[in-house]
Structure 1
Amino acid sequence: MAEKDELQVDDILKTNRRLNEQVKELTQQNESLLETIRELEGDIKELQKKSGNGKTSVKKKGITVMYISFGGFKSIQEGESTDDLYDLLDEIYIKFDEIADKHKLERIKSIGDDYICAGGITEKRSTNPIDICLAALKMKAYLQELKAAKFTEGDGFWNVKIGIHSGNGMVEEEKSRRKKATFNLTGEVINTVPRVASLCEAGEIVISDYTYEIVKGYFSCEYTGDLPVKYRGNMGLYQLKRIKRIYSEDRKEGIKPNADFTLKYHLKEFNDIEEKVIDFLIKNLPGHLFYHDYTHTIDVVNQAELIGYGEGVSDHQILLLKTAALFHDTGHTIESNGHEEHSCTIAREWLTEYNYSEEQISEICNIIMATKMPPNPQTLLQRIICDSDLDYLGRTDFIPTSNALYKELEAIGVMNDINEWNKLQIKFLSGHQFYTATSRRLREVNKQSQIDRIQKLVVEEGE
């Protein structure tokens, strides 16, 4: 009996320990949930906060912030007047603003002498962390030049520390009719980045592991330690040293990117441009374009990449092909007749904003113009885009795609007889040729089977 009682007691103790562990786990989950609720309540309050002075607050994901701390102000006042120091600081900020603008960064309001700017404030870009690291290297180089000049003159200089972190935050934009919009930033990212900067040696740049994971393919970085972060554990910190030598035009300093860096950058940036263009097409294409809709553009982009690699073109040529495919039908938003010329106009305007070179833009426009009917491609890239544009002719989805084109032509009054349409399709398919060996290998056999299928549907006069 005693043995049975001991077993029962042991079971009760085990159950009690298990329940205590569950209570502890639930308590931790509850605390985490309460913290999330508090953050959401704060977000809701910020989102609802609108006043007559033009301020609006929006939660943003994927913001990258650079925090530049100017320390040692009192120690350098002895050799210079306070006014002179502030004049120099204003001069520095003006230069910082120029660099930030070039890399599409926004300056954030700050208290005191620290300088803060961020990417992803007005427009989400996957390249924001790269942009901000490039800007940081340029700012650091500029400060080193100023410091060297000051030492030559026997004057002191600030202990400047630069921290960079990527995360989420609440952005408050204050618009003004007379001045450029200004921004306030609250939340995790702005709360963390000063701590990142504080663990940096004077004159150096430290980035968080969040930022490091995005930029490590472009820059040389060195692990420096960890930063304890609430609810997450330790955050790894890395010293940003330079652009990688293989991607640097100035191999010694590592500040100026070379052509390979720019290509790698544009290939990453393409996804942002694609998302923006597809959204533009969805919102602006006429409703009667059942064939030339945004899905056709996505299809041509994918096929251009597939055929391009099949033809052995370079990564730079793939970028040109995909960009041309992305913009080749944007002109339909203006006018379908002569839309290729309109597409070139839109492409030129957009791509200039994304820092494509004039040479790249001209080549992209030439590729777009090659899709004009009847096609007459002169280069390999033009032959690839023509095959990509009509790739459906040799695919199993030919019939539904062809029906969409018929529906589009019917909507604009060009075609209203399905039998005549079938005859026209046979004529077009019989006279069509794929220009690339890749497309002929992948599509030619199936294209012939489509001709045979449509011929069975045609009703001749008198039948």
Structure 2
Amino acid sequence: MSWWAIIIYIICILISIYFIHKWKTFRNLQGRYRMEEIIKERTEALIKEKEKSDNLLANILPKNTADELITTGKATSSKFKMATVLFADIQGFTKIAEQMNPDTLIDELDKFYFHFDSVVEKYNIEKIKTIGDAYMAAGGIPVKNRTNPVEVVLAALEMQAYMKDLKKTKADIWDLRIGIHTGSVIAGVVGQKKYSYDIWGDTVNTASRMESSGEAGKVNISATTFRLVEDFFECQYRGKMPVKYKGDIEMYFAKGLKPELQANNEVTPNEKFEIRLQLLRLLDLEEFIFQKLDGELPENLYFHNSGHTSHVYHQVELLGRSEKVADTDLLLLRSAALLHDIGYIDTIDEHEKRSVEMAHEILPLFKYNEFQIDQINKLIMATKMPPEPVDLLQKIICDANMDHLGRVDFLIESDKLYQEYRTLKRIKSKKEWNTYQADFLKNHEFFTDAARRLREVSKDDQIKNILQFS
């Protein structure tokens, strides 16, 4: 065999080996691709099934509780100091159930409960359960709030209005009794295989007694609830009524919204009602913000801390009322005052801009609309130095922010600001700081008549004090 034939054989063998290797590689890749597709399909199926189970759990339990259960495998019980419990019950249901076809009975109940579910969802009330013809819900859980007595009573009035409207077209519609009481409850999850979110406590028992002591077509509330909602609703005093295991309890019938708070009818609130409710909700925002400031602000902010925010918050209300601003604008001012320095949590420079960003995140949680948020953010940005307010509300918040310049404790507050600036390396010496303060005071004027009237120490006297103690 000649040498060139040997070379050809070797080349053929090498080519064969190469193609066999390539074929095996292709088959391996093909098998791996099929395996990856199978894994992908099964993973997607598992994800979809998990989403279904998570959604099902979220429909059964409050979101926070469901998330905790999914994450940790258990849910802790919580005590709520102020929750409002509602019981609704169809009068004479036992007799109705004996006479009506079971399928028709269930269809009728389902129709009522479907509407009730939409009402409680609208007012951020938690549906607890239904037991036969009884419907149970509670406001103020699982997220604590101060507005729950008002929201639960309004929801109850809407439920009764719905039943009355049905009666106009269908004479044999059932009569509904509703009872409401406000107090402390314990809420948590019971069961291992079939989870159930429930509440316990004397408040629940009293709410049940309010329902059984009520009348068809009416909303019966306890004296405790009445005192929390009397600024919103017209109520009829029933006197002290005997209640099983409770003795005599004062009760009221909630008749409807106060005339000045009605829109189209006695259960439809107008803008004045919404503002009044939002002012009540402002207390929840206040608690949330001060907890956040106290827990997250840097320790070296000796002046721009929660104490300063608290003073500005109260001062804008004082100045606002002195300047006779409307409740709508007062709500914007007080909200902006709470949030104007919250950006200091994350940054010193451009903290106003960060405050606006945080306001966009926080305010929707407290049911502020986009227009309100936009106006509040403009007020926050108006506090940026040097202040250049363009309207009365901006002038008020700027004056409240600089109120210490006219107070008798100015030197104390000034020293806090000096310590803060010195720590941040923005000022070198006390002398430099005093010169800066004196120059600032010479050029400063309060923008509103109210701030000028309330000034405790004149500008000239403040400058003298600075020079005297420098």
Specify the code of the residue in structure 2 equivalent to 1:425.
Q
CA contact (8 A) 1:55 1:175 kept: no
Please identify, of 77-86 and 58-67, the stretch whose mean Cα deviation from structure 2 is larger. 77-86
Find the partner of 1:197 among 211, 236, 255: 211
Partner of 1:42: none
Specify the code of the residue in structure 2 equivalent to 1:409.
Y
Find the partner of 2:202 among 185, 188, 200: 188
Distance 1:271 1:362 in 2: 20
Larger-gyration structure (1/2): 2
Assess, with a 3 A threshold, how the Cα gap between structure 1 residues 413 and 108 changes in structure 2: closer, same or farther. Answer: same
Does residue 295 of structure 2 align to residue 243 of structure 1? no
State how 1:129-148 maps to structure 2 within 5 Å.
129-148=149-168
Q: 1:186 Cα shift?
A: 1.3
State how 1:124-273 maps to structure 2 within 5 Å.
124-151=144-171, 156-173=172-189, 183-228=197-242, 233-250=247-264, 253-273=265-285
Partner of 1:44: none
Find the partner of 1:320 among 332, 350, 362: 332
Find the partner of 2:411 among 395, 399, 404: 399
Tell me the secondary structure at the aligned position of residue 109 of structure 1. strand
Assess, with a 3 A threshold, how the Cα gap between structure 1 residues 229 and 197 changes in structure 2: closer, same or farther. Answer: closer
Assess, with a 3 A threshold, how the Cα gap between structure 1 residues 213 and 454 changes in structure 2: closer, same or farther. Answer: same
Q: 1:359 Cα shift?
A: 2.4
Specify the code of the residue in structure 1 equivalent to 2:206.
T
CA contact (8 A) 1:55 1:174 kept: no
Please identify, of 285-294 and 116-125, the stretch whose mean Cα deviation from structure 2 is larger. 116-125
Assess, with a 3 A threshold, how the Cα gap between structure 1 residues 53 and 434 changes in structure 2: closer, same or farther. Answer: same
State how 1:366-385 maps to structure 2 within 5 Å.
366-385=378-397
Distance 2:269 2:137 in 1: 21
Partner of 2:462: 450
Partner of 2:421: 409
Does residue 296 of structure 2 align to residue 296 of structure 1? no
CA contact (8 A) 2:407 2:457 kept: no
Partner of 1:390: 402
Specify the code of the residue in structure 2 equivalent to 1:211.
T
Find the partner of 2:89 among 49, 56, 69: 69
Distance 2:81 2:242 in 1: 22
Deviation track 1:108-163 (CA, whole Å, cap 9, x = no partner) reads 23543311111122233222110101111111222233444443xxxx44332100
Partner of 1:284: 296
Q: 1:456 Cα shift?
A: 3.0
Tell me the secondary structure at the aligned position of residue 349 of structure 1. helix
Deviation track 1:370-393 (CA, whole Å, cap 9, x = no partner) reads 101111100011011101001001
Partner of 1:32: none
Deviation track 1:28-66 (CA, whole Å, cap 9, x = no partner) reads xxxxxxxxxxxxxxxxxxxxxx9x852422332222111
Specify the code of the residue in structure 1 equivalent to 2:134.
D
Question: What is the number of equivalent residue pairs in this alignment?
Answer: 399
Partner of 1:433: 445
Q: 1:348 Cα shift?
A: 3.0
Distance 1:159 1:76 in 2: 11
Partner of 2:12: none
Partner of 2:14: none
Specify the code of the residue in structure 2 equivalent to 1:129.
P
Distance 1:368 1:240 in 2: 40
CA contact (8 A) 2:189 2:198 kept: yes
Tell me the secondary structure at the aligned position of residue 56 of structure 1. coil
Partner of 2:107: 87
Distance 1:341 1:148 in 2: 55
Does residue 133 of structure 2 align to residue 113 of structure 1? yes
Q: 1:78 Cα shift?
A: 6.8
Distance 1:201 1:410 in 2: 69
Tell me the secondary structure at the aligned position of residue 206 of structure 1. strand
Specify the code of the residue in structure 2 equivalent to 1:334.
D
Specify the code of the residue in structure 1 equivalent to 2:325.
V
TM-score by length of 2: 0.79
Assess, with a 3 A threshold, how the Cα gap between structure 1 residues 193 and 348 changes in structure 2: closer, same or farther. Answer: same
Q: 1:191 Cα shift?
A: 0.8
Structure 2: which 5+ residue stretches go unaligned? 1-68
Deviation track 1:170-216 (CA, whole Å, cap 9, x = no partner) reads 2224699xx9x953111111111111111222222111111111111
> In percent, how many aligned pairs have the same letter?
41
Assess, with a 3 A threshold, how the Cα gap between structure 1 residues 300 and 182 changes in structure 2: closer, same or farther. Answer: farther
Distance 1:93 1:346 in 2: 38
Specify the code of the residue in structure 1 equivalent to 2:269.
P
Distance 1:69 1:202 in 2: 9
Tell me the secondary structure at the aligned position of residue 455 of structure 2. helix
Q: 1:279 Cα shift?
A: 0.8
Tell me the secondary structure at the aligned position of residue 241 of structure 1. strand
Distance 2:247 2:428 in 1: 67
Tell me the secondary structure at the aligned position of residue 296 of structure 1. helix
Distance 1:427 1:235 in 2: 66
Distance 1:419 1:457 in 2: 10
CA contact (8 A) 1:54 1:175 kept: no
Partner of 1:16: none
Distance 2:454 2:159 in 1: 52
